[in-house]
Amino acid sequence: MLHLHMRYWQRLLVLMILSQSGCTGKSVTPTSAPQEQAATSGPGLFRDMTDDSGLSAVFRNGEDADRYSILEVMGGGCAAIDYDGDGLLDLFFPCGGYFDGPDKKQICGTAPKLFRNLGGFQFRDVTAEVGLTALADGQPWFYSHGAAACDYDRDGRTDLLMTGYGRVALWHNESDGAGGRRFREVTKEAGLLGPHFWATTAAWGDLDGDGLPDLYVCHYLDWSNENDPTCPGYRTNIVRDVCPPRQFNSRPHLLYRNRGNGTFENATATSGIRADRPDGKYGKGLGCLIADLDGDGKPEIYVCNDGEDNFLYLNRSVPGKLKFEERGLELGIARDSAGMANGSMGVDVGDVDGTGRPAIWVTNYENEFHALYHLRSGKGMFFDYASQRYGLTAIGSRFVGFGTAFVDADLDGWEDIVIANGHVVRHSPTNSIRQRPILFRNVPLGDRRQFTDVAIEGGPFFAEPRVGRGVVVADLDNDGRPDLVYCHINETARVLKNESLRDNHWLGVELAGQDRRDPTGAKLSLVVGQRTLVRLLAGGRSYLSSSDPRRLFGLATNQQVGRLTVEWPSGTPRKEWWDSLPIDRYHTLLQGSGRAVE
Amino acid sequence: MYRLRWKIPLIIFSTILLLASGYVYLKVAPPAQSLLHDGQMSLRDGDLAKANHFVEKLVSAGYMEHAALLWGESLYRRRKFGQAESELAKVNGASALYPQAAVLFAYCRLEVGDATTAQELLHGVLEDHPNDVEAHRGLAQVYFTLGANTRVVDELEIVAKLDPSDTRPWMYKGGFYADVGLLIESVGAYEQALSRSVTPEQIGRARFGLAESLLKFGQHSRAIEVLAGLPEMFRTDPNAIVFKADALLRQAEFKAARELIAPVVSGPSPGSQALTIAGRVEFEAGDYERAIAFFERATVADAAYHEAHYHLAQALTRLGKTEAGAAQQKRADAIKADLQLMSQLVDGAGMRPWDAIVREKLADVSRRLGKDDIANKWAKAAKMCPPPPKR
């Protein structure tokens, strides 16, 4: 936070004795902010199903070693992945790590967990069954954070990537020879073993139009055992606390091009991604998103950096050659409305006002507002900072936001927003460490739209403060209502069933590219009554997490839909449509099965 | 027996005479403390002549130390610090008046640039009188002069406890917390200040501070409500208009913001904040030419106003003037770097009240930002910093 100490000397202080007598005036009702809504025990949009579900995934951060390291604050995410192809999304959780050894300097990892979705919000731990109990070659587990699911080799089975401190791990989803599935770690043979320093969020997406999903891996900063300063607390009576990110330098992020033969090429240096910079400004990356923001058929990469400018890499790639141009600051999407870089963590893309123009939504640190950057109409790809305009600053700036997502929670056709909040320091002098999650409903305000904090409507979960991190949106019971998974530090992840009213209808779409081409970057436009609902298929999103790859359209009470148009990022045709798809069900749309648009 | 009979009336008469004298004395000659208090009230009200009258009364009544204290304060208020010190030095160290004299002496020392002695004196008072609110006020003043803002806040928190009616600690804390981004604390402090405010000026200043923090906190509607409660004399104050326009801008009520700010920016010497708000309204409307004109004026009004430079860069870029936009962004980033450096240095100045080097660096950065008046204050603070005194 930049201190506006230019005003210090203007704050005249004359405390001369006897210069003021006692006085009383009328009292002022203190402003309570943010508007903390009362906890509710009544039903809401979401019901916490965790306790009876069999799900028990806890991210441990090792803070009991009292190292006060910044490593401990990252937390973890989750990947929604149908690993066994039974049509139900399963859940994969990186589980963090701990410190070991006599001096607690050994950075160790905790094995991840995979829970198979049995239906009816019942889950079973299948970690051992699928071979996720050990890394290849007897390598020790690493301190893990993020998960990203993708069929990287286009064999029809979704694979898994896990990120963490010092490395990533890629698992190939294979048959176990007995009718089941298992994961085989292939990081080394895929060429993904290095040079990772501290990998956080990863995003898959076909960036060069060759149909193969490429990989962007954010990196954070250069904390290590050798670079582990002791920092004072954030007030005079607090002796020690976690160091702020500005104590450290950023590390280069990595971009890998998928060669199509099970291996990846490190394309960072030649692609225009920030690398080998004399100023060392690589961005302390925590969140990223791959989506086609300018409608040219080539997905961009948007990166959230902590305390530094966010990046928008415009895609100039051609098949076989990744090429990007970073222009975030120029396009108005790097900083807040005061021109300051924020501590940005989570991200998503959505259509907030029904115009089809994408808005990038970013969660930020305390004393900063979460940021909504809305693509402006007209020439150029400029974004307007629109947080205040959409009422998103009404929750104040007290929250430290992480995982987030656009989600049409009530299927009214307007995308709402969910956020996981939780502080990073151990002893905040003024703020709560545990913070309640947020549910913003997208509601009408005259002829405009606005977001309203609706904790009570969300259900009891949204009134309970936690140390939140990753958030996943996934329809876990395939009822067309998007469910949620919230990840926390040192506490079980929670799975929330969407229990919105059944009055509203829906349409679900799963895109299947030609020859299993990766469809990330696709744009879906659905005519519903007088409106056209636009949804983008994006890689990355949220924080350290990987959500349901399907797209859900809320139809409100409309009983039928018009034309659904899909603009594909590659393959043929590039644009096609389907008319009057039956509602209240999922459709797997194969590229080429619709009516092509010439 | 005969002698005793005469003595009894004599004793009775003497006693009556003594009591009557005492009564007359008390009635006719008020106690020293009362005279001193009345004299100090006169000084507070700015009536030096009346205060001098009380000095004379004290002298006539033989209360020399009281007189010295009052006369010393009078001289202090007339900025005759040397003479004031001479008077105050007449108060004996064992006297009940010593704490007051020592505090005033400390203020004199501070005025002549001797913060070290000022601090020593005040600490000396607090050793024997730890709840002496004036000594704590004095220390706050010392730290303020040194630019040690966190120490100022520490002292003012004690002042606020010792004298709950004083609005000034709350006003200062409101501004301090706003500057360091603790917006909830800032709002709370300004609300406390407002609840203690009586005069229109106090109410106005508290409301301005509160409105500004509410704006930063995202509570635009509440900010507008607070501004609506301004005393009449502040209703047309440009600051009130600017804050309200800012709130309307943030609520996307661009037309209303434009109408409100227009008279301010077309008036004499509009500030950089007003011009930037006007520019942002045009920017939102897509009229980048008009926006640029306002932003350019804002950067002239205050060359160090980073926000104006940033928005100017954005507007130039959107108009297709990419090179000019990039150059402007570079200027904005240089200012931002200096402001961030200043922020770190001020943190250091707060933690180390006697560090001359950090204060000299602050003076340099301030000068680089074109803030010579602020630079001079930091330079003055640096000069006051010998090695820290032992307590």
pLDDT tens string B5-64 = 777 888 887 777 777 666 665 555 568 899 999 999 999 899 999 999 999 999 999 999
Flag whether residue B50 sits within 8 Å of chain A, measured between CB atoms: no
Question: What rounded mean pLDDT belongs to chain A?
Answer: 92
CB A489 within 8 A of CB A59: yes
CB A488 within 8 A of CB A494: yes
CA distance B326 to B324: 5
Residues in A closer than 8 angstroms to B251, CB to CB, are 388-389
CA distance A151 to A138: 25
Question: What rounded mean pLDDT belongs to chain B?
Answer: 91
Surface of A (373-412) touching B: CB under 8 A? 376, 378, 380, 382, 384, 388-389, 393-398
Beta strands in chain B (DSSP E): none
Q: Kind of pairing, strands A448-453 and A468-474?
A: unpaired
Residue contact A396–B191, C-beta within 8 A:
no
Instruction: Give the DSSP letter string of A68-89.
Output: --GGGGS----EEE-TT-SSS-
CA distance B374 to B355: 17
Q: Residue B57: CB partners within 8 Å, gap ≥ 6?
A: B35
Residues in A closer than 8 angstroms to B218, CB to CB, are 369, 388, 393-397
Residue contact A13–B168, C-beta within 8 A:
yes
Select from B180, B197, B369 the Cβ nearest to the Cβ of A25: B197
Q: Among residues of chain B, what percentage have pLDDT more than 90?
A: 79
Residue contact B336–A340, C-beta within 8 A:
yes
The pLDDT value given to residue B217: 82
Residue contact B374–A9, C-beta within 8 A:
yes
**What per-residue string of b and e applies to B60-99 under the rule 16 or more CB within 10 Å gives b?**
ebebebbbbbbbbbbbbbeeebeebbebbebbeeeeebbb
Flag whether residue A22 sits within 8 Å of chain B, measured between CB atoms: yes
Report which of B225, B183, B230 is spatially closest to residue B206, judged by C-alpha positions. Answer: B230
Q: Among residues of chain A, what percentage have pLDDT more than 90?
A: 85
Residue contact A23–B198, C-beta within 8 A:
yes
Q: Among residues of chain B, what percentage have pLDDT more than 70?
A: 95
B370 pLDDT above the threshold of 50 = yes
ipTM of the complex: 0.88
Most confident range, picked from A26-30, A218-222, A387-391, B347-351? A218-222
CB A96 within 8 A of CB A110: yes
**Residue A302, beta-bridge partner list:** A289, A312
Residues in B closer than 8 angstroms to A12, CB to CB, are none
Residues in A closer than 8 angstroms to B100, CB to CB, are 17
Flag whether residue B251 sits within 8 Å of chain A, measured between CB atoms: yes
3-class DSSP state for residue A486?
strand
**Would you give the end-to-end CA distance of chain A in angstroms?**
52
Q: H or E stretch including B75?
A: helix B64-77
**Residue A304, beta-bridge partner list:** A287
Residue contact A13–B140, C-beta within 8 A:
yes
Beta strands in A210-268 (DSSP E): 214-219, 254-258, 264-266
Between CA A429 and CA A437, with CA A435 as vertex, the angle to 5 degrees is 155
Surface of A (283-302) touching B: CB under 8 A? none
Residues in A closer than 8 angstroms to B214, CB to CB, are 31
Residue with tokens 């990753």: A470
CA distance B191 to A35: 17
Flag whether residue B299 sits within 8 Å of chain A, measured between CB atoms: no
The pLDDT value given to residue B27: 58
CA distance A319 to A297: 13
Q: What would the two tokens of residue B288 be? A: 């980048």
Among chain B residues, the shortest Cα distance to A17 is held by B134
Mutate to test the interface with B, among A23, A28, A370 (most CBs of B within 10 A): A28
CA distance A391 to A109: 41
A33 pLDDT above the threshold of 60 = no
Residue contact B318–A380, C-beta within 8 A:
yes
CA distance A366 to B165: 32
Select from B159, B284, B343 the Cβ nearest to the Cβ of A5: B343
CB A372 within 8 A of CB A391: no
CB A544 within 8 A of CB A472: no
Residue contact A13–B250, C-beta within 8 A:
no
A21 pLDDT above the threshold of 80 = no
CA distance A274 to A278: 11
Residue contact A9–B318, C-beta within 8 A:
no
Surface of A (204-263) touching B: CB under 8 A? 236
Among chain B residues, the shortest Cα distance to A4 is held by B179
A22 pLDDT above the threshold of 90 = no
| Arithmetic mean of pLDDT, A268-280 | 90
CA distance B178 to A154: 54
Residues in A closer than 8 angstroms to B140, CB to CB, are 13, 15
Nearest CA-CA distance, residue A532 and chain B, Å: 25
A24 band by pLDDT with thresholds 50, 70 and 90: very low
Say how many C-beta atoms besides its own lie within 10 A of residue A267's C-beta.
Answer: 23
**In this structure, which amino acid lies at residue A514?**
Q
Flag whether residue A38 sits within 8 Å of chain B, measured between CB atoms: no
3-class DSSP state for residue A190?
helix
Residue A319 CA to its chain's centroid (Å): 27
CA distance A463 to A500: 18
A37 pLDDT above the threshold of 50 = no
Q: Residue A388: CB partners within 8 Å, gap ≥ 6?
A: A337, A369, B218, B220, B250, B251, B252
pTM: 0.89
Residue contact B184–A340, C-beta within 8 A:
no
A17 pLDDT above the threshold of 60 = no
CA distances to A198, A224, A375, A422, A554 from A105, in Å: 16, 10, 46, 26, 50
CA distance A455 to A467: 17
Flag whether residue A179 sits within 8 Å of chain B, measured between CB atoms: no
CA distance A359 to A387: 10
Q: Give the count of alpha carbons within 13 A of A506, CB side only.
A: 27
Q: H or E stretch including A568?
A: none
> pLDDT tens, A392-438?
988 888 899 999 999 999 999 999 999 999 999 998 877 789 999 99
CB A2 within 8 A of CB B336: yes
Phi and psi dihedrals of A397, rounded to 5?
-125, 30
Phi and psi dihedrals of A577, rounded to 5?
-140, 160
Residues in A closer than 8 angstroms to B197, CB to CB, are 23, 25
Nearest CA-CA distance, residue B18 and chain A, Å: 38
